[in-house]
Amino acid sequence: VRVGTALVDLYAKCGLLEKAKAAFNKLPYHDVISWNALITGYVQHALEDEALSCFKQMHFDGVLPDDVSFVCMLKVCGSLGAVFKGYEMHAEIIKKGWLEKGSTIVSALVDMYANCGLSEEAREVFDKLSIRDTVDWNALIAGYALLGQDQDAFHMLCEMLKQGSNPDLVTFTTILNVCSHGGLLEKAETFFQVMLIDHQIEPTLKHFTCLVDLYARAGQLDKGEAVILKLPFQAD
RNA sequence: CGCGUUGUGGAAGA
């Protein structure tokens, strides 16, 4: 079943969901992990309805969802904007005492609320955390970015630094993107330097893209071009 | 420490 599940996962990740399902059906029995592998395949390829019906089928087959299953389904709720279902899952997670089970489930909750447009709820979940890792911070900052709450996004980055968490390349991609949407060129240049110098993070193509975008919008095409020509890798 | 599944990030275009 382990090997079979790995096969399900492989097909699912390649987007060959028919094959994944066939491999899944050939398994002698289905445990929660093989169900999760199939469900995440559907989630990752934006087949939310399939994921939902799989989740129900799992229940029907008498397999209890674990925390991983919930993380996947929270993502579905977020993509669909299914607020009510999201609340239900949140309540169930609390009931099972899984909020303490690791930050994966909490950042998934933050992400879900943000994707549903509920930044207050996202913030509430986040604030209850006693220990916050980089991904938790990133999820909240990305939520503010998504909802156009630029000031909140910047503020949370400051808080993050104050509280001694280390921002990573994802944090700065998000922040540079906020600058890009707001046309905040100087701010972006500053953050870019902070990223390089204070945090010694190697910029990726995504970081450079934000910069180029900003220069382009500011009409400074020459500077944008200069960035592209100096790219440490091939432009796309 | 990992050895079957899970959380956060970019522009344009259609």
**pLDDT digits (tens), chain A, 236 positions:** 889 999 999 999 888 888 999 999 999 999 999 999 999 999 998 898 899 999 999 999 999 999 999 999 999 999 998 899 999 999 999 999 888 877 899 999 999 999 999 999 999 999 998 889 999 999 999 999 999 999 999 999 999 999 989 999 999 999 999 999 898 999 999 999 999 999 999 999 999 999 999 999 988 999 999 999 989 888 88
Using the CA of A114, which nucleotide's C1' is the nearest one?
Answer: B8
Provide the ipTM: 0.76
Size of chain A, expressed as the number of residues it contains: 236
Q: What is the pTM of this model?
A: 0.90
Q: Which residue is nearest to nucleotide B5 (CA to C1')?
A: A37
The nucleotides of chain B lying under 7 Å from a protein CB are 4-11
Q: Nearest residue (Cα to C1') for B9?
A: A170
